[in-house]
Chain A
Amino acid sequence: MVRIGAFLVGLFFAGWLLVSFLVGAYAYVTEPPAKTVEHEFHLAPKHVSFSFDGPFGKYDQQQLQRGFQVFKEVCSACHSLKFVAFRDLAALGYNEAEVKAIAKQWAIKTPDVDPATGEASTRDPVPADHFPKPFANNVAAAAANNNAIPPDLSLMTKARHHGPAYVYSLLTGFQQQPAELLKEFPDAKTPEGLHYNPYFANLNLAMAPPLTADGQVTYGDGTKPTVDQMAQDVSAFLAWTAEPKLENRHRAGLATVVFLLIATALAYMSYQNIWADKKKAVA
């Protein structure tokens, strides 16, 4: 009885899937799905290597400081960094006084309440504060940015496939819309106010190219601030903001794996040892 029921149920599901397949295949052959402009022109991120790649990777503090400078002078006007606190900057090699100064001089102030009147006010950030947001809320952010909300950057490199390479590619990927694209997809012309970028999922990005000219920031360590260099540095910085514990993780991982390899080898020998007398014995 169970088997007859099962047979019928199986026949139904398998049969109807076959019907569905045939319907789908017929449609696929008669009306092949139209190619989309994203499918044709979207590009995978460029290959770029960072000091923190691989199991032994570490952050390059100098690079993180440069990247932080790019973030401060370029990105922070529109993008928040809400999960990062000023105190975290100690990991970039700044000492306590420097962190304090960076917080105090930060262009955006921390919202506060006036202790006398109870009204909303602002104060200078302190190291314990997270980076204040440039806009009070999403509505304000959208209103100031042509209806597009600049996303928070704290986790950006973990929120995209190939994060650091993606950020780097996006920053250096702004270009004219290719002529072939317009020829093949005449309706896909980049709308007014958007910017063509083949590394962006739908190809048209609300953000204007933020890094436009070499020398846009002036590095204190003498590195030449080319657009490429700035893009790499800020990508590295954002990799750090997304994964500040990467170095601890790599260190702990190495120790753990080495320890486990030895322990497992011992466990294997012990296992062989215990079984030695049982290998071929009849009882």
Chain B
Amino acid sequence: MASVEHSDGQGLSGGEGVRRRDFINIAAVSFAGVGAVAVVLPLIDQMNPSADVLALASTEVDLSAIQPGQAIKTTFRSQPLFVRQLTPKEIAEADKVDPSTLRDPQTLEERTVDGKKQWLITMGVCTHLGCVPLGAGEGENRGEFGGYFCPCHGSSYDTAARIRKGPAPKNLEVPKFSFTSDTAILVG
């Protein structure tokens, strides 16, 4: 921790003529420099997520209570997570859209797991400025495309949570997840 002083003390010492070429002084200053860098590493690393935060980096979600057409809002890594079971009608609506016409082209297949197309799992974080969109709760405004609607600046997402209108640049993010059974997923 102190090598700062140390290097200070010696770093300047090369300043005058003959001494600059002195191997010992250069070696001493270099060692102090290496030491200072080695000390800085843990000082930086301590700001990274701690072990208890990392331990909560994955979340299990039980799907058994979610009926078609319903969604729940839960949390994943301290941020909202939307878990929705799409109705066949919503799936059809999503499939009807030609991806090439979208701002962020993706098909519903690409956003869901093979064979479990009805389960749409997305972050509840608007890709514009990070607000929580409406639409996961019962009776909330789902916007003109029937998915999610962000009240902050009016971004509308469709039934596959793809951006259709408004300022948001991207579709709602689909986190990494896997099915641990037919009715449970592990996110993260």
Asked whether the complex places CB atoms of A and B closer than 8 A, the reply is yes
Interface residues of A (CB under 8 A from B): 85, 87, 127-128, 259-260, 262-263, 266-267, 269-270, 273-274
Within 8 A of A (CB), among B12-69: 13, 19, 22, 24-25, 27-29, 31-32, 34-35, 38, 51-52, 55-56
Nearest Cβ in chain A — how far from B45, in angstroms? 12
Residue B87 CB within 8 A of the other chain: no
5 A–B contacts, CB within 8 A, in A order: A85-B55, A87-B51, A263-B31, A267-B32, A274-B13
CA distance A269 to B51 in the complex (A): 43
The 10 closest A-B pairs by CB, nearest first: A128-B55, A270-B28, A266-B28, A263-B31, A270-B25, A269-B24, A270-B24, A267-B28, A87-B55, A266-B27
CA distance A147 to B32 in the complex (A): 58
Nearest Cβ in chain A — how far from B46, in angstroms? 13
Residue B128 CB within 8 A of the other chain: no
Chain B minimum-CB-distance residue to A268 = B28
B170: chain A residues at CB < 8 Å are none
Is B25 a contact of A263 with CB atoms below 8 Å?
A: no
Is A85 a contact of B24 with CB atoms below 8 Å?
A: no
Residue B10 CB within 8 A of the other chain: yes
A259: chain B residues at CB < 8 Å are 31, 34-35, 38
Contact of A263 with B28 at beta-carbon distance under 8 Å, contacts A128-B56, A270-B10, A274-B13 already known: yes
A274: chain B residues at CB < 8 Å are 13, 19, 25
CA distance A210 to B34 in the complex (A): 52
Contact of A273 with B25 at beta-carbon distance under 8 Å, contacts A259-B35, A263-B35 already known: yes
Nearest Cβ in chain B — how far from A278, in angstroms? 13
Give the size of the chain B interface in residues (CB under 8 angstroms): 20
B10: chain A residues at CB < 8 Å are 267, 270
CA distance A262 to B32 in the complex (A): 10
A269: chain B residues at CB < 8 Å are 24, 28
B52: chain A residues at CB < 8 Å are 85, 128
Contact of A262 with B55 at beta-carbon distance under 8 Å, contacts A267-B6, A270-B24 already known: no
- In this complex, the member of B22, B24, B27, B38 whose beta carbon has the largest number of chain A beta carbons within 10 angstroms is B24
B22: chain A residues at CB < 8 Å are 270, 273
B6: chain A residues at CB < 8 Å are 263, 267
CA distance A263 to B31 in the complex (A): 6
CA distance A267 to B22 in the complex (A): 13
B34: chain A residues at CB < 8 Å are 259
Chain B minimum-CB-distance residue to A260 = B35
Chain A minimum-CB-distance residue to B57 = A128
CA distance A123 to B6 in the complex (A): 55
Chain B minimum-CB-distance residue to A273 = B24
CA distance A260 to B22 in the complex (A): 21
Nearest Cβ in chain B — how far from A121, in angstroms? 15
B31: chain A residues at CB < 8 Å are 259, 262-263, 266-267
CA distance A62 to B20 in the complex (A): 56
A273: chain B residues at CB < 8 Å are 19, 22, 24-25
CA distance A65 to B38 in the complex (A): 34
B28: chain A residues at CB < 8 Å are 263, 266-267, 269-270
Nearest Cβ in chain B — how far from A258, in angstroms? 12
